[in-house]
Amino acid sequence: MTKLVSNQVYLEPSDHKRLASLCGPFDDNIKQLERRLGVEITYRNNEFKVLGPALQVTGTIELLKNLYIETQAVRGEIPDLEANTVHLAIQQSTVLEQDSSAQASTYGKEITIKTKRGVIKPRNPNQNQYVANIVNHDITFGVGPAGTGKTYLAVACAVDALERQEVRRILLTRPAVEAGEKLGFLPGDLSQKVDPYLRPLYDALFEMLGFERVEKLLERNVIEVAPLAYMRGRTLNDAFIILDESQNTTVEQMKMFLTRIGFNSQAVITGDITQVDLPRGVRSGLRHAIEVLKDVNEISFNFFSAQDVVRHPVVASIVMAYEEHERQKAQEKAEAQATAQAAQLQGQTS
């Protein structure tokens, strides 16, 4: 169990206008520091007390000092300390790096979202690592077959972040691509046309939050569910964003989505590269992103297999059967190519 310590700092010179700027409206800046750094901050006038793990307490006090300097008057005016400034200060500090390993080992046990079916927790080590990566990275990829909990756990983390007030809204999106069949012109307005594609995301939300609360949050745009095409031109701040079925994005769509992410936002991209429904000859944006972004430190990748399937046991068997079939086809293709090359070489030498 992590030992908690307490320390205090007096921010000088004491100025109620500068202190109000530091704390932000409704103490939003203080709350952001608490959420991101895992500490508890209380204050009275210019005396700030910080409670938490020793490294986080020391780092938080340094951040408070540095942020207070940012509130110095410019041309006689006290500047408002914006949430973006606080976010960047946290990102540039070493406090998050010091705490990341501890969070990675414990967070999977800390997720306690009560739903109609009980408490949501990761069910295996790979899911546990996936949840830890979501917490510790701004962008997380979850890649693997159906039934491994990629989307469900991502929605659970989004709900958890919203309940903890770490983000102000949840945005769920997926490309509206037909899965093999031709649906033609669907009846109804625009919402009714795209809702069938987004139904799995709605279902997860209804289970976790209840129908009535989800409806209220949707009305207030705290939760937004939209097709991927609606993301173009937007910058998404203070949001938890989930891109589902990302194997059906084009390379251009994936790049567009990844560049929408703003300050204090997290993104989770889920998909199954074995179930691409794009037209023949169109490259999957998910496949391309895995190749291009694999060495970017701020991005994590989680790859699930049939062993991670948490649905009916037959689903794991089905996934394994398809994987074995694909391996056999790939092996036969390689052997055929090798035989053809050998025959070609023999023809050239004879």
Residue 267 contacts residue 258 (beta carbons within 8 Å): yes
Identical fold between 4-93 and 100-304: no
State the pLDDT at residue 310.
65
Q: What are the b/e assignments for 293-315, b being 16+ CB within 10 Å?
A: eeeeeebbbbebebebbbeeeeb
pLDDT confidence tier of residue 225, bands split at 50, 70 and 90: confident
Q: 145, 13, 36, 15: which is closest to 83 by C-alpha? A: 36
Q: What is the mean pLDDT of residues 32-61?
A: 90
Which pTM was predicted?
0.65
For 306-339, the pLDDT digits (tens) are 777 765 556 667 767 777 777 788 888 888 888 8
CATH class for the region spanning 4-93: alpha beta
- What are residue 189's phi and psi, to 5 degrees? -80, -175
Domain boundaries defined on the chain: 4-93, 100-304, 310-338
Strand partners, 118: 115
Nearest 5°: the CA angle 49, 52, 56 is: 95
pLDDT, average across residues 21-32: 90
Return d(Cα 231, Cα 161) in angstroms, integer. Answer: 21
User: CATH topology for 100-304?
Assistant: Rossmann fold (3.40.50)
Q: Where in 175-244 does DSSP place strands (E)? A: 223-227, 239-243
What is the end-to-end Cα distance of the chain in Å, rounded? 75
Residues 6+ away with beta carbon under 8 Å from 115: 207, 208, 209
- pLDDT, residue 181, reads 43
pLDDT of amino acid 40: 93
